[in-house]
């Protein structure tokens, strides 16, 4: 399955699981399986940024509230999620990033990471007035009535303060086991795990069910604690207890990586002694002042990270090795395994990364191997179990010829990767064409992976140029399986329409290494047409704002290849646009060019995609979050936290939709 298809498939799977979990209060897969799907999607989207989409579940915190039964309420301050890691090396890297940003050593607070339902509670003069779920991070469900039925959540605090606090509703393991026993006796479906049970319970319209199930809640955060005179996160945890709010009663202040490692090792061994589920530990910078400096991404705070306990390793037999060829020709070894269940899912294949990794781990065909899925795109082979060898195992031989086209493989100097140098290798052609026709490139509908594979197989496509010759084979295309007359007509129309794509999209479609959508736009604006770009020296390229050494060298080398120049000239002959249209160029305005734009609230005159395209057409840049780098915030109806943050920063120009329309004129 190719990257685009796999990403779309993962998004559908995750959205389906979100629907069952958040709307029907059911879990089709385990918590760990769900986390792996999400991690797999995030890794793929990072690896293939051309397929990123703001609507992707990887870009949204929590769940969609489309079918919620509860009233939706906007959070005054967004409820972000935490970045996850599974190894101490990344914890150390996090510590270095923090201290580089704040310019000094820092204290860290290490807490247990509970596995339940995140909530945000508001108290006025010490009285509980509202309780919201995380929801999608910006908007939550009003669960106040159900929250009032949880005995460990006080309706009145010990001090009459105005405060917003965050916590985790959990179902104790002992209660979970009792509930499942009763449900089993009644012939009802049992809950998959305590987290799903807690989440499903809180979304019951009958508050009496919440009361019966003896849910518990632990608090871990005070929103805007500085207004209460608090300067550190550790002080806020102590203050929560003082107010009568329950915490896990455990936190540890650490000053160095050794202290963090000791605490992590301790809880990895002791976590099973707790009466609630914990899937890891949360590491937070202690000082609030540092929180301000570090800030947040669109999804996660930069001042905190979650260390998740390693997944359980399982053993299975490595039956064989297969080889995959990527768009650039890199050959990747893949382990073919005796099917095994890992965290509730069946696994038959696992990554071996590269041939150096195989040698280092001494992995052989026929070995019993340990595999795990923690934080990986696909399951990976951890090690071979040499003690179980019988002598019949075979060493893995690095292939000398391409598994697809039989061309002799090469290894570039200083690189681990083995590559197929054949520019007409069917695997490379297929992946190049899939990239070329993708939505963010030439946007040609109707050329999916299977159709491209078939066209290559029957000799109708040998390179990108052949896409524009397909109109000569209309009748043959119509006779292909799963095509038909209408499908072929739509495909040919889409191919013709692609000739009108903007210069930056056509430049992106060429697949120049390290040139994504954003850089393609920068390069198109700086060069006006591809002939100018082809003439630029490395020094010229480095003068372009946003272009670094790696990109400059890559672009320069691309245009030194005569075959690439011939390809571009041939594409021009077919009508492909490699020039910034005069209208586009003339549209650029100083108040737009290079400026960062963001919109919030409901817009009356534009759809989201429309306003984004307009901003880009005038030379502006769309961003996804409020920060000091934002130039304009366009405000619609019912604007929320983005507006508030922009007002607090004081450096951002806040304009209405009408103001934006005037700017365009």
Cα–Cα distance measured from residue 416 to residue 507, given in angstroms and rounded to the nearest whole number: 29
pTM assigned to the model:
0.47
3-state SS track over 238-269: HHHHHHCCCCCCCCEEECCHHHHHHHHHHHHH
| Catalytic (active-site) positions | 113
Q: How confident is the model at residue 377 (pLDDT cuts 50, 70, 90)?
A: very low
- Confirm or reject CATH 3.40.630.30 for domain 3-59, answering yes or no: no
Lowest mean pLDDT, pick from 39-43, 144-148, 510-514: 39-43
> Which H or E run contains 165?
strand 163-170
- Confirm or reject CATH 3.40.50.720 for domain 588-664, answering yes or no: no
Residues 234-251, mean pLDDT to the nearest whole number: 93
Tokens coding 33? 């399986």
User: Which residues, including other chains, have CB under 8 Å from residue 75's CB and lie 6 or more apart?
Assistant: 120, 132, 135, 137, 138, 139, 140, 640, 641
The rounded radius of gyration (Å) of the Cα atoms in the chain is: 28
Residues 162-182, mean pLDDT to the nearest whole number: 90
Per-residue model confidence (pLDDT) at position 311: 56
Report strand pairing: 410-411 vs 330-342: unpaired
Q: For the domain made up of 426-500, give the CATH fold.
A: DNA polymerase; domain 1 (1.10.150)
Sign of the four-CA dihedral 381, 28, 192, 202? positive
* N residues, the chain: 665
Q: In the chain, what are the domain boundaries?
A: 3-59, 72-308, 314-395, 426-500, 503-586, 588-664
Per-residue model confidence (pLDDT) at position 178: 86
What are the distances in angstroms from CA 524 to CA 28, 512, 563, 578, 607? 47, 13, 21, 9, 26
Considering the four listed CATH numbers 2.120.10.30, 2.40.128.520, 2.40.50.140, 3.30.479.10, the one that applies to the domain covering 314-395 is: 2.40.50.140
Sign of the four-CA dihedral 534, 540, 542, 547? negative
Superfamily the domain 72-308 falls into: DNA ligase/mRNA capping enzyme (3.30.470.30)
User: Which residues, including other chains, have CB under 8 Å from residue 540's CB and lie 6 or more apart?
Assistant: none
Residues 442-466, mean pLDDT to the nearest whole number: 88
Q: What is the percentage of the chain residues whose pLDDT exceeds 90?
A: 35
CA angle 101-287-248, nearest 5°? Answer: 125
CA angle 282-287-293, nearest 5°? Answer: 100
Sign of the four-CA dihedral 531, 534, 536, 541? positive
Q: What is the percentage of the chain residues whose pLDDT exceeds 70?
A: 90
Whether 503-586 and 426-500 are alike in CATH topology: the answer is yes
- Confirm or reject CATH 1.10.150.20 for domain 503-586, answering yes or no: yes
Residues 164-170, mean pLDDT to the nearest whole number: 95
């Amino acid at each position: 399955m190719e990257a685009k298809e796999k990403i779309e498939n993962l998004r559908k799977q995750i959205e389906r699981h979100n629907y069952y979990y958040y709307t029907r209060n059911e879990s089709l897969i385990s918590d760990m399986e769900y986390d792996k799907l999400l991690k797999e999607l995030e890794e793929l989207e990072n690896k293939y940024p051309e397929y990123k989409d703001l609507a992707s579940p990887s870009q949204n915190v929590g769940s969609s509230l489309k079918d919620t039964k509860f009233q939706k309420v906007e959070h005054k301050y967004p409820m972000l999620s935490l970045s996850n890691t599974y190894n101490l090396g990344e914890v150390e890297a996090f510590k270095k990033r923090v201290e580089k940003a704040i310019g000094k050593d820092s204290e860290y607070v290490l807490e247990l990471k509970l596995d339940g339902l995140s909530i945000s509670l508001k108290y006025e003069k010490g009285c509980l007035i509202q309780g919201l779920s995380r929801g999608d991070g910006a908007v939550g469900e009003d669960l106040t009535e159900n929250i009032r039925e949880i005995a460990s959540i006080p309706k009145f605090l010990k001090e009459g303060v105005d405060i917003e606090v965050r916590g985790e509703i959990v179902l104790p393991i002992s209660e979970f086991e009792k509930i499942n026993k009763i449900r089993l006796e009644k012939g009802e479906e049992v809950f998959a795990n305590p987290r799903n049970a807690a989440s499903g319970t809180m979304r019951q319209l009958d508050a009496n069910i919440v009361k019966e199930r003896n849910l518990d809640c632990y608090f871990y955060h005070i929103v805007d604690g500085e207004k209460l005179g608090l300067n550190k996160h550790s002080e806020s945890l102590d203050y929560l207890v003082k107010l009568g709010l329950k915490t896990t009663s455990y936190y540890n202040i650490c000053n160095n990586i050794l202290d963090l490692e000791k605490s992590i090792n301790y809880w990895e061994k002791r976590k099973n002694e707790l009466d609630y589920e914990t899937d890891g530990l949360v590491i937070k910078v202690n000082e609030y002042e540092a929180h301000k400096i570090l800030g947040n991404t669109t999804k996660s705070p930069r001042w905190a990270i979650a260390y998740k306990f390693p997944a359980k390793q399982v053993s299975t037999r490595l039956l064989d090795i297969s080889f995959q060829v990527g768009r650039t020709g890199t050959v990747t070894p893949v382990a073919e395994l005796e099917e095994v269940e890992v965290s509730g899912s069946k696994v038959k294949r696992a990554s071996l990364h590269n041939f150096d990794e195989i040698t280092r781990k001494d992995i052989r065909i026929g070995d019993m191997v340990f595999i795990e899925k923690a934080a990986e795109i696909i399951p990976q082979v951890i090690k071979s179990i040499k003690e179980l060898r019988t002598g019949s195992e075979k060493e893995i031989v690095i292939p000398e010829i391409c598994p697809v086209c039989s061309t002799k493989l090469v290894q570039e100097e200083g690189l681990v990767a083995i590559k197929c140098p054949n520019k007409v290798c069917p695997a490379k052609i297929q992946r190049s064409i899939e990239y070329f026709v993708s939505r963010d490139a030439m946007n040609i509908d109707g050329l999916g992976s299977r159709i491209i594979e078939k066209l290559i197989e029957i000799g109708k496509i040998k390179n990108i140029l052949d896409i524009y010759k397909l109109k000569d084979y209309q009748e043959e295309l119509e006779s292909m399986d799963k095509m038909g007359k209408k499908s072929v007509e739509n495909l040919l129309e889409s191919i013709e329409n692609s000739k009108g794509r903007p210069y930056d999209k056509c430049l992106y479609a060429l697949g120049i290494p390290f040139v994504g959508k954003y850089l393609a736009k920068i390069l198109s604006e700086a060069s006006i047409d591809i002939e100018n770009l082809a003439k630029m020296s490395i020094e010229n390229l480095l003068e372009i704002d946003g272009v670094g050494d790696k990109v400059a060298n890559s672009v320069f080398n691309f245009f030194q290849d005569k075959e690439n120049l011939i390809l571009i000239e041939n594409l021009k002959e077919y009508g492909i646009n490699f020039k910034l249209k005069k209208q586009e160029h003339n549209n650029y305005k100083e108040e737009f060019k290079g400026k960062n734009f963001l919109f919030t609230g409901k817009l009356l005159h534009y759809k989201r995609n429309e306003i984004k395209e307009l901003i880009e057409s005038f030379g502006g840049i769309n961003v996804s979050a409020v920060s000091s780098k934002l130039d304009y915030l366009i405000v619609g109806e019912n604007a929320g936290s983005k507006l508030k943050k922009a007002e607090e920063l004081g450096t951002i120009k806040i304009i209405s939709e009408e103001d934006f329309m005037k700017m365009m004129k």
